[in-house]
A and B are shown apart, each in its own frame.
Chain A
Amino acid sequence: MAVGAYELPVSQHDLKDDVEKKSRNKGNSSFLNMIPPSIQYNINKLKRLLGFNVGKNSNDDGGHHYKIFNIRRIVLILFIVTFSIFWLADSGSDESVSSLIKEYERRRNSNSRGLRTPLGQSSIPNSLANPNRSRWSKIWPFSLLNKDPKIVIILAANEGGGVLRWKNEEEWFIEKISIDNKKAYAKRHGYGLTIKDLTVSKRYSHEYREGWQKIDILKQSMREFPNAEWFWWLDLDTLIMEPKKSLEDHIFNRIDQMTERTLEEFNPLNIPIDLPYVDYKQDMNLLITQDCGGFNLGSFFIKNSEWSKLLLDVWWEPVMYEQRHMVWDHREQDALEELYRNEAWIRSKVGFLPLRAINSFPPGACSESNDDPRYFYNEHDRDFVVNMAGCNFGRDCWGEMKHYTSTMERLNTRWYSKLFRR
């Protein structure tokens, strides 16, 4: 019996099974009679295989009893249970990104001009067709489940937006990977996600405020999510490498251990450390990181508070831009540095996270300090986010994105995930 656990129960069929016999011979009263006998046989077989006590109602004198703890039944149930556990546990992405990458590279090399089928699921449905023109500012359906997320991720996408040049194949695909990455993360931890449009426009050109959409977008997001506590700005060239870590565990529950309030430890810009009237006892409302060149705003947190709104207003101040835009190479970053340098009320609420906490660099960024472990992504330490900052300046964006995506998948898949993938 145990050996033949998965064989067809032919012998049992040959035994006189009462239900079967009756259903075949006896009259038209039974609903089962409407079903052809061959199917009936299959139904009964299935029932037996699944361990239902089919024969229970039959006459006891048949001498044939199905044991409740049939070994086949136990094996089957165990199998089903384990399968469903793994299945549920693997509720991450249904498509492996690396298979998408392979397909993408195959297509790119084939270089055909014909129409292609869409690659993967469209990550930005109807984004371009939104009539009110705020195309990328859609809240994703899952955030409807969590209408007032405490933490909202702001992802700046659609860089360039097809104004000055073609937004090419590679950029589209990098954007898709990046958006999917944040979507999955926000979904997993119940955060909000809002995707913002960085289309080039005259309003943010050099004559006005080059690259300062950031501030407008932040203000807009604060109106959009009035009940959110924290906003997490992420550039498009970032990848969350540890989707399992929640922001609470990673940062907010141990914010005091993680952050530095002053620049004593690390001060690449040599900003004067002392400034009168700074009160470091105040809560932090802006969590930023510093790289080798000073403040880095590729990934930072800002609290939804009056202070933040005031900061954004001051930051946006056109007079400052008029005066200094030829000096400020790094645009809004330099402006913030200037404010931090001089304003005590701003300094009082700024905290510095280590760069690798939310903003690790790939080798190649900060190339002048190539051996400094404070900057660069380390697989063994499982750094949280990698920011491929400046990869379009002489580096290979696509190569880096591909490398970190596959690293991320390798670090975060379990052995059984393969079972559920195409």
Chain B
Amino acid sequence: MLKPKSSIFKLSKTVNSTIISLIGSIFAFVLLFRFINSTSNLFNFNSLFANNNNFFLNYNNYIPNFKNTPGVHFYDLNNYRGNSDGWQRNDRILFCVPLRDAAQHLPRFFNHLNTMTYPHNLIDLSFLVSDSKDDTMGVLLSHLQTAQSQQNKLKRFGNIEIYEKDFGQIIGQSFSDRHGFAAQGPRRKLMARARNWLGSVALKPYHSWVYWRDVDVETCPVTIMEDLMHHGKDVIVPNVWRPLPDWLGNIQPYDLNSWQESEGGLQLADSLDEDAVIVEGYPEYATWRPHLAYMRDPNGDPEEEMELDGIGGVSILSKAKVFRSGSHFPAFSFEKHAETEAFGKLSRRMNYNVVGLPHYVVWHIYEPSTEDLKHMAWMAEEEKRKLEESKIKEFYDKIWEIGFDDIRDDWRSERDSIFNKIDLSFKKPIGETDADDISDWYDDPEEKAAQAAHAQAQAAQAQAQAAQAQAQAAQAQAQQQPQQPAAPAQGAPAPAQVPIADVAAVAAVQPPAKPAQPAANPADNNVPLAAAAPIEDANQQQLQAAQQAAQQQQAAQIQDQQKPVDFNPDVN
């Protein structure tokens, strides 16, 4: 019963042996091949399949030996073309940093340098110090000294070169100087010159990559080299943003020089004269270009790429071959651009790919512009002023408490009996307010409810009095007529002309006689007075006078019905 099985196994046994021998020989071949390949790597045949040559030819490559000939160096430039895994293949990076009045930024910059994960011995630093009024050179030297004398030799950098050259820049280096519209063209051309000086002297044949970096970067991933390099593009830039102080909003897109060309941009370029330089982010030039900075999705994939035409200079990683083959930072108007933007355009023209990473962000520092500085000074001033003011207010409050009696509670308890005697009937015929509105006098709901009931009763009374009011209307009209036009025009003084009880009524029920009264100003002024007055010397006569005055005014209102009654209950 096991026979069929065992025969299968027997069969498989014979098959197995052949298979095993086959696998073994393939394995041996692969090993041999890999060995050859790796040794060829040692001799820098690293791009075995990358180049288009017949790869057998690679093994026959002739390497002249000049070791014994002094002063002769041999470089096979095919070996320095830049690999996407350069940190594993010992690709050397030329790290270019233009410096000008940068002493304050250097500590932060060297902090970034030290934490970088790319093998430090493969990074050659090149600095161009130009037109500096501060001690940029001194600070730079001291930082370099500490960097290169570190205990851990792996932390030291490769070659370091410092160049000094003044370009005689007229434009100031403050934020507003650098970013004003008029300054842009000449400034960019000058900076392009500086970059070209630096790049051309610093680039050695053994560099595979060139990295341009501004010194004023605040935060930056430590793996930035690898992150940019592994895309394997000829020119690549990250997105550059900057943090902002709270009063300006939290963050802001910073580097608007990275963009894609648009139809509108090309039309604009056509319309300008030969030497003009288009600069981004100024209303003078509407370019209609999609900007890398504006395409950032904080939750997006940092690997995502976006093709670009112009690029910004904060952090550019490019293969050395781009510069070797002639691309550079045009110090003239190339397609109506200069410096880094033109470098992007020029490189694209030369069929190199230029990409940006919209969701991979490097944070530039925040430098306040002149306006921002002004605003910040103002804010500091304001803060001081507010402090002062609050102190004064505290003092005044104390004085006030001592100097005045608080009778608000008394008023609250007594006002019922006072308003009780005021005839509110004039409210009714106009029909714009009803009892519900009146109840708004009260703050707490119980009182409110009570007053609502009370007001309803009053409304009934008002109905009864309506006829009487109508009868009085004609008479009142005659009396009130001469006073009437003066009141709205005079505004504040108007209440002062009537007797004190009348003032109470005026303040309490916002006389319809003054529909055009400016923003409750007289009411505000008179309320404490008016509120206090009736309590102290209120007698029946005065209240009756108030009643009559109210009736008169109401009668006047009837005559003037198209104007709405604005019943202002803010007695308290």
Binding site for B on A (CB under 8 A): 22, 29-31, 57, 104, 107, 111, 113, 115-116, 118-119, 122, 126, 128-131, 133, 161-167, 169, 172-173, 199-203, 205
Cβ-defined contact, A129 with B307, below 8 A: yes
Cβ-defined contact, B307 with A200, below 8 A: no
Nearest CB to that of A34 among chain B residues? Answer: B9
Known A-B contacts A113-B243, A202-B262; the reply to A118 vs B290 at CB < 8 A is no
Cβ-defined contact, A115 with B300, below 8 A: no
Cβ-defined contact, B288 with A119, below 8 A: no
Whole-angstrom CA separation of A369 from B279 in the bound complex? 48
Residue-wise, chain B 284-314 has the 8 Å CB interface mask toward A (1 for contact) of 0010111111111111111011110000000
| B14 interface hit (Cβ, 8 Å) | no
Q: List 19 A-B contacts (CB under 8 A).
A: A29-B6, A30-B5, A116-B299, A119-B299, A119-B300, A122-B304, A128-B306, A129-B307, A130-B307, A162-B292, A162-B293, A163-B288, A163-B294, A164-B294, A166-B294, A167-B294, A172-B300, A173-B297, A205-B288
Looking at the complex, which one of B221, B290, B304 makes contact with A199 (CB distance below 8 Å)? B290
Cβ-defined contact, B294 with A31, below 8 A: no
Nearest CB to that of A26 among chain B residues? Answer: B2
Cβ-defined contact, B302 with A128, below 8 A: no
Looking at the complex, which one of B6, B263, B298 makes contact with A30 (CB distance below 8 Å)? B6
Whole-angstrom CA separation of A109 from B123 in the bound complex? 39
Query: Which residues in B have their C-beta under 8 angstroms from that of A122?
Result: 300-301, 304
Cβ-defined contact, A162 with B298, below 8 A: no
Query: Which residues in A have their C-beta under 8 angstroms from that of B291?
Result: 162-163
| B493 interface hit (Cβ, 8 Å) | no
Looking at the complex, which one of A111, A165, A199, A200 makes contact with B250 (CB distance below 8 Å)? A111
Within 8 A of A (CB), among B1-17: 1-2, 5-6, 8-10, 12
| B360 interface hit (Cβ, 8 Å) | yes
B249 → chain A closest CB, angstroms: 11
Query: Which residues in A have their C-beta under 8 angstroms from that of B289?
Result: 163
Whole-angstrom CA separation of A169 from B296 in the bound complex? 8
Cβ-defined contact, B263 with A163, below 8 A: no
Query: Which residues in A have their C-beta under 8 angstroms from that of B286?
Result: 202
Cβ-defined contact, B264 with A202, below 8 A: yes
Nearest CB to that of A160 among chain B residues? Answer: B294
| B350 interface hit (Cβ, 8 Å) | no
Whole-angstrom CA separation of A201 from B290 in the bound complex? 9
B243 → chain A closest CB, angstroms: 7
| B361 interface hit (Cβ, 8 Å) | yes
Looking at the complex, which one of B219, B262, B306, B359 makes contact with A163 (CB distance below 8 Å)? B262
Whole-angstrom CA separation of A118 from B302 in the bound complex? 7
Query: Which residues in B have their C-beta under 8 angstroms from that of A133?
Result: 260, 307
| B88 interface hit (Cβ, 8 Å) | no
Whole-angstrom CA separation of A163 from B253 in the bound complex? 12
Query: Which residues in A have their C-beta under 8 angstroms from that of B219?
Result: 113
Nearest CB to that of A58 among chain B residues? Answer: B1
Nearest CB to that of B298 among chain A residues? Answer: A169
Query: Which residues in A have their C-beta under 8 angstroms from that of B300?
Result: 118-119, 122, 172
Whole-angstrom CA separation of A89 from B410 in the bound complex? 76
Cβ-defined contact, A169 with B297, below 8 A: yes
Cβ-defined contact, A166 with B293, below 8 A: yes
Whole-angstrom CA separation of A130 from B304 in the bound complex? 11
B296 → chain A closest CB, angstroms: 7
Cβ-defined contact, A128 with B295, below 8 A: yes
Known A-B contacts A113-B363, A116-B299, A163-B288; the reply to A203 vs B263 at CB < 8 A is yes
Which 7 pairs, one residue from A and one from B, show the smallest C-beta to C-beta distance?
A202-B264, A162-B294, A119-B299, A172-B297, A128-B306, A118-B301, A162-B295
Query: Which residues in B have their C-beta under 8 angstroms from that of A119?
Result: 299-300
| B86 interface hit (Cβ, 8 Å) | no
Query: Which residues in A have their C-beta under 8 angstroms from that of B251?
Result: 113
Within 8 A of A (CB), among B209-226: 219, 221
A38 → chain B closest CB, angstroms: 21
Query: Which residues in B have their C-beta under 8 angstroms from that of A126?
Result: 304-305
| B534 interface hit (Cβ, 8 Å) | no
Query: Which residues in B have their C-beta under 8 angstroms from that of A203?
Result: 263-264
Query: Which residues in A have their C-beta under 8 angstroms from that of B511?
Result: none
Q: With contacts A166-B253, A166-B294 known, what are 16 further pairs, Cβ within 8 A?
A: A30-B5, A31-B8, A115-B302, A115-B360, A116-B299, A118-B301, A122-B301, A129-B307, A133-B260, A162-B293, A162-B295, A167-B294, A201-B264, A202-B264, A202-B286, A202-B288
| B267 interface hit (Cβ, 8 Å) | yes
Query: Which residues in A have their C-beta under 8 angstroms from that of B297?
Result: 167, 169, 172-173
A359 → chain B closest CB, angstroms: 28
Whole-angstrom CA separation of A332 from B290 in the bound complex? 24
Looking at the complex, which one of B243, B262, B295, B363 makes contact with A201 (CB distance below 8 Å)? B262
Cβ-defined contact, A202 with B267, below 8 A: yes
Query: Which residues in B have their C-beta under 8 angstroms from that of A165?
Result: 294
| B358 interface hit (Cβ, 8 Å) | yes
Nearest CB to that of A208 among chain B residues? Answer: B264
| B96 interface hit (Cβ, 8 Å) | no
Nearest CB to that of B295 among chain A residues? Answer: A162
| B277 interface hit (Cβ, 8 Å) | no
